Amino acid sequence: MHVVVGSQSCFGRAAVAALRAAGEEVRTVDADWEDPSAVARAAAGGPCASITAGLELPMHRWHRDLVKLADNICAAAEQTGAAVLFPSNLYGFKVIYDVPLPADPPLADVNDKRCEPGRLRDAIEATYSQLAELSGNRVIVVRAGDTFGPGAIAWPAARMVSCAKAKAAIPWPGNRSVGHSFTYLPDLARLGVRALLGAPLPKPLRTAEELADPDLAPQSPLEVYALHGHLVANAAEWARALGSPGARWLPHAFIRARALVGSEHRLLAEVLYTWEGSLFLDERQTRAWMPDWQGTPLPEAAREAVGWSG
């Protein structure tokens, strides 16, 4: 039996569908996810194989609610021995443009204010790491950059999809000639479920020289799978994929001015660095583990996202 917290969100819905397609029993926790006992009750109702953190929240609620969600899931997983599936992002890592980033990129310097939103991601992954290290639970992280999908709310991709739905030009908060990575959330969920139902990802063997390096960071107890999804060459290509008449540049000065009065633009201003160059993940390890992996073709993914009616 598997528990999915947030089955009404884009990632959670896709995780439920993938689990049920594999013949697995699924229980869901939705409206009462903030109650620690609700997650624990769902997981305790039978032998629990996994708990998925499928809830998607607007960025301004991350600090308040994502930590609480992680705590509730870890408490239930510790009691039952369940594995945990957790979707994550690139915030908080060292900024390296135009080079494929590993699934676990190096952390940004603490003085790099561009990556401040990633401090929360660091803290949440540390919570799950502690569960894996101290309790022995299997914890699977599926990592992506910006995401989109039917009913997804991640900004600015969700705003782009809504503009395309209205046949309006999409907002592009960066250089329109620079490529960007967009991952289809249902694909990320399917990848996570395949990882859950498969054998654990083996840790890469380290050389004697690496083991002798006193500055070498210890290997993470997390199983991390990277998916860069669809890497579009520029804003015009993404607009065409979504069926939009074009892309309009969203000036950074405008975003920072609006950030003074609105939470949506304030949080977007904090992650503008991800649009200053092309940031994307190296998914070769994921594909080596899953050589038959086929993501949803971009035309189909875009059609599903734009056509979603809720």
Is-cis flag, bond preceding 156, omega within 30?
yes
Burial of 111 (0-12, 13-18, 19+ CB in 10 A): exposed
pTM given for the model: 0.90
294 contacts: CB under 8 Å, gap ≥ 6: none
**pLDDT tens digits for range 23-80:** 999 999 998 999 989 999 999 978 999 999 999 988 778 878 988 999 999 999 999 9
Q: What's the DSSP call for residue 135?
A: I
Note the pLDDT of residue 181: 94
Q: What are the residue ranges spanned by the domains of the chain?
A: 2-151+180-233+280-294
212 contacts: CB under 8 Å, gap ≥ 6: none
For residues 4 and 19, the answer to whether their CB atoms sit within 8 Å is yes
Rounded distance between C-alpha atoms, residue 105 and residue 94, angstroms: 7
CATH T-level topology, domain 2-151+180-233+280-294: Rossmann fold (3.40.50)
Strands 50-53 and 180-184: unpaired
For residues 186 and 14, the answer to whether their CB atoms sit within 8 Å is yes
Q: Averaged over 292-300, what is the pLDDT?
A: 96
Note the pLDDT of residue 209: 59
